[in-house]
Chains A and B, each alone.
Chain A
Amino acid sequence: MAFRTFLPLALVAAGALAAGIVAGCGSSTSSGNVISISTGSCGAQWQASPGMQTFEIYNGAAAGAEVDLIDPANGAIYAEVSGLGQGTTAPMQVDLGSGRYAFKCLIEDTGAITGPVVTIGGHVHGAAAILPVTADDLLQPAREYHAYVTAGLQVLVRQTGALAADVQAGNLAAARAAWLPAHLTYERLGAAYGTFGNYDTEIDGRADGLPGGVNDPGFTGFYRVEYGLWHGQSASELAGPASQLYQNVVALNAAFPGMEIDLLDIGLRTHEILENALEFQLTGQDDYGSGTTLATTAANIAGTRELLQILHSLLAVRYPALPSVYFWLDRLQSLVDAQQQPDGTWTPVSALSTTAQEQIDAACGQALQELAPIAVITEPRRTT
């Protein structure tokens, strides 16, 4: 799975520096909007008018910093500049409405400092502030997700065991029937693939990127077994890959209690699971013969819903468009579910009508647009 990891801080700081240079040349911001922070101080008194403002944040402290513009009443954030390297300047753009504002400086290895509180009068509507999510806020969701994955892996052990036994017994029809539910169980665990590390490649890796493609000895896991089961390979040919899949699942199941879910992943995966579904399942690219990538998409939707459920209380007070997320996930799911026949089989993506494909792709694309803000909102932030 091609999930992203966050950039190292050094890269972020370099990017902020470049952005600062650009803004310095092209921006029409008045000089009164420079906010200089230093060790022990989070900017002097400042003034601003309502409306769109660009502050130039200069880090004169002895370490890197993050600077937020907050509502001093509750710490909700209007705007943030993160990864601001020592001696650098970066623009902070914000639409200021009537209210009370303060800069909050989070200098590395130093406690938070809040600068002077500034009141903007009148009755002007500006951008809304959002309460930051802290690492502490994410501990319980991470525990819940860990439990969800633990339960899924236990099911997966049984299912892959049965699959391997069917292949071992030479009953390939039964193996074909057993393959899909096992694969879907795995595909519902999408937020944990990064946590799984190499196990994920061994259990659910694709053939692309391997020099020998589907014949490469490094091609293992669900897709390897799928390829064989739907390309006329014999039971003896498949016994090894099916057994190896089972053993890898058993090993993962044994190792998982000691694995920790990265708190960043929980928010990121709310859109990344379906990003992958769009790229690999709805295109049919991950169809190694069974024609079930729409079933995989349905499992991915279920995995996404699980994340939303455990994040719900955090999101409900921070993301006004959350109803749109559910609206589009519901539409996507009903369009995908409509492609399962009464006998339980699924329409291969390649056999979809143009209209059906367009509707599914549109709903998936819109669901992704609606999901994307969640990763930004739930990124764990320092507040103290």
Chain B
Amino acid sequence: MSEPSGPPKTPRRSFLRGAVGAGIAGSAVGGAAAGYAYRASRPPAASEVMAGDLQTGLLPAVPFHGQHQAGILPPPQQQTVVVSFNVTAEGRAELTDLFRTLTDRARFLATGGTPPPVGIGAPPSDSGVLGPAVVPDGLTLTAGVGASLFDDRYGLASGLPAGLTAMRTFPNDNLDPAQCDGDLVLQLSAGHADTVLHGLRDIARNTRGGMQVLWRIDGFTSPARPAGTVPRNMLGFMDGISNPDTSDVAVMNDLVWVQPGGGQPSWTAGGSYLVVRLIRMFVEFWDRVDIEEQENMIGRRRATGYPLDANSLYAVPDYALDPNGDAIPLTAHMRLANPRTPQTGSSRILRRAYTYDRGVDAVGDLDMGLVFTCFQQDIKRQFEAVQTRLIGEPLVDYISPFGGGYFFALPGVTGPGDFYGRAMLS
């Protein structure tokens, strides 16, 4: 193996093969993009569903640039993939190269356009899965970093976001280390599975030397059934009815976005902590449970989603009138998660859950459950406070968290010259 090793070693831009695609595909973008980010806590108006566009994969592009990443506030899209990576880049320069490449690819995928032709110089620059022009299909990419990225490899230790750790193990967890944590997490979401997988392939082919998949899970959002309600999870219950109002900037600044100052490294402002929990649901067991017991565990009617003490979907349960849990048991999931007291208001999270479905387990039961993701300003004050209240809830017999991680979702990419993690890396 003494062959000459060619010209000097120049790894710059080495993850970036093939220029970014040119132009914006189609004309479907228009002013409709803003309509995509409807209030998470309310069902969309018929005009916002854009059923025809959904069918054809022509959901409008979600603007990529902004103070915050675009995939955090909108309601869950129809399809998602959450992928955790370990970074294999060597040194700070290659890490920076990786983040620049990720940004370029995400910008192109979210915007859409024609992949660049390659002449006789290379295989096609795009997989072609979405046809000759890449459609945005409402794609968002959310990028987050794990605590392990701040170890001694890249000299980032002093920039560790306050309170970012490996994921804590809770008493009812059954965590598989192979499906936990990671240096970097990406969540791609869009209107269709092909859009999401096209995006994942595009990112992977452009970053092969820089990171390797540690674990991955695919998820989907069911249609609201009946129409006008809220999508259900595999327990048959509506999921995420009482999210904070994402259109209320003050509420988002109190609950979701990290604010400047406050003991945080300055680069974190505008980002948000992301908790991912992969939660198996033992659906066969659940299906053998009486409906009254199911509803008491959740705190809502399965058929309508109404709180057990009310007659409408978005009614606020009145726990003060029900101190002994006669209507809504004190151990109901909904009541423990959000007791709606002044003391617990600041522990609310922005919840974005998807359903996963991936085959069967060792005894032939269906392996399905929840890709639970939530965003918050402070993991300890919010997710961990909520999860601590849920320890030992009756529902734990039917669910089992097995993976996930704590991450910091980076501040948004503010313009064409910006890139993910620029302030973190500078």
Residues of A within 8 A of B114 (CB): 52, 93
> Is A323 a contact partner of B7 (Cβ separation < 8 A)?
yes
> Is B120 a contact partner of A322 (Cβ separation < 8 A)?
no
> Is B208 a contact partner of A365 (Cβ separation < 8 A)?
yes
The 8 A CB mask of A313-352 against B (1 = contact, 0 = none) is 0000011011111111111010000000000000000000
Can you pick out 11 interface pairs between chain A and chain B where the beta carbons lie within 8 Å of each other?
Answer: A77-B119, A127-B117, A305-B1, A308-B3, A331-B209, A362-B208, A362-B211, A362-B212, A366-B210, A370-B17, A377-B122
How many residues of chain B get a CB closer than 8 Å to chain A's CBs? Answer: 36
> Is A309 a contact partner of B209 (Cβ separation < 8 A)?
no
> Is A330 a contact partner of B9 (Cβ separation < 8 A)?
yes
> Is B6 a contact partner of A95 (Cβ separation < 8 A)?
no
Decide if B225 is an interface residue (CB 8 Å cutoff): no
Given contacts A26-B131, A302-B1, A333-B1, whether A369 and B119 have CB atoms under 8 Å apart is no
> Is A369 a contact partner of B4 (Cβ separation < 8 A)?
no
The 8 A CB mask of A73-114 against B (1 = contact, 0 = none) is 000011110000000000101110000000000000000000
Decide if B323 is an interface residue (CB 8 Å cutoff): no
With both chains docked as a complex, state the minimum distance between the C-beta of B186 and any C-beta of chain A, in angstroms: 16
> Is A322 a contact partner of B6 (Cβ separation < 8 A)?
yes
Residues of A within 8 A of B127 (CB): none
Residues of B within 8 A of A79 (CB): 117, 119-120
> Is B88 a contact partner of A359 (Cβ separation < 8 A)?
yes
Residues of A within 8 A of B8 (CB): 323
Decide if A22 is an interface residue (CB 8 Å cutoff): yes
Residues of B within 8 A of A361 (CB): 212
Decide if A363 is an interface residue (CB 8 Å cutoff): yes
Complex Cα gap A275–B119 (Å): 23
Residues of B within 8 A of A127 (CB): 116-117, 119
The 8 A CB mask of B291-313 against A (1 = contact, 0 = none) is 00000000000000000000000
Residues of A within 8 A of B5 (CB): 326, 329-330
A-B pairs, 8 with minimum CB distance: A366-B209, A326-B6, A365-B208, A362-B88, A373-B122, A358-B212, A93-B117, A305-B3
CB interface residues, A 280-335, toward B, < 8 Å? 298, 301-302, 305-306, 308-309, 312, 318-319, 321-331, 333
A residues adjacent to B (C-beta < 8 A): 22-23, 26-27, 52, 77-80, 91, 93-95, 127-130, 132, 298, 301-302, 305-306, 308-309, 312, 318-319, 321-331, 333, 354-355, 358-359, 361-363, 365-366, 368-370, 372-373, 376-377, 379, 381
Decide if B163 is an interface residue (CB 8 Å cutoff): no
With both chains docked as a complex, state the minimum distance between the C-beta of B134 and any C-beta of chain A, in angstroms: 13
Quick one: closest A residue to B27, CB to CB?
Answer: A28
Residues of A within 8 A of B88 (CB): 358-359, 362-363
> Is A363 a contact partner of B209 (Cβ separation < 8 A)?
yes
A-B contact count (CB 8 A): 123
CB contact between B14 and one of A128, A324, A381 (< 8 Å): that residue: A324
Residues of A within 8 A of B30 (CB): none
Given contacts A361-B212, A366-B209, whether A373 and B11 have CB atoms under 8 Å apart is no
Residues of B within 8 A of A379 (CB): 120
> Is A95 a contact partner of B122 (Cβ separation < 8 A)?
no
Given contacts A322-B6, A358-B212, A362-B212, whether A80 and B14 have CB atoms under 8 Å apart is no
> Is B119 a contact partner of A309 (Cβ separation < 8 A)?
no
Decide if B156 is an interface residue (CB 8 Å cutoff): no
Decide if B121 is an interface residue (CB 8 Å cutoff): yes
Residues of B within 8 A of A22 (CB): 131-132
Quick one: closest B residue to A368, CB to CB?
Answer: B208
Residues of A within 8 A of B90 (CB): 331
Q: A127-B117, A362-B211, A365-B208 are in contact. List 5 more A-B contacts (CB 8 A).
A: A77-B120, A128-B121, A298-B1, A366-B210, A373-B122
> Is B205 a contact partner of A326 (Cβ separation < 8 A)?
no
Given contacts A22-B132, A80-B120, A377-B121, whether A325 and B6 have CB atoms under 8 Å apart is yes
CB interface residues, B 1-26, toward A, < 8 Å? 1, 3-11, 14-15, 17, 22-23
> Is A132 a contact partner of B132 (Cβ separation < 8 A)?
no
Complex Cα gap A80–B6 (Å): 29
Residues of A within 8 A of B122 (CB): 372-373, 376-377
Complex Cα gap A95–B17 (Å): 17
> Is A366 a contact partner of B208 (Cβ separation < 8 A)?
yes
Complex Cα gap A354–B88 (Å): 11
Quick one: closest B residue to A52, CB to CB?
Answer: B22
Complex Cα gap A309–B1 (Å): 12
Decide if B123 is an interface residue (CB 8 Å cutoff): yes
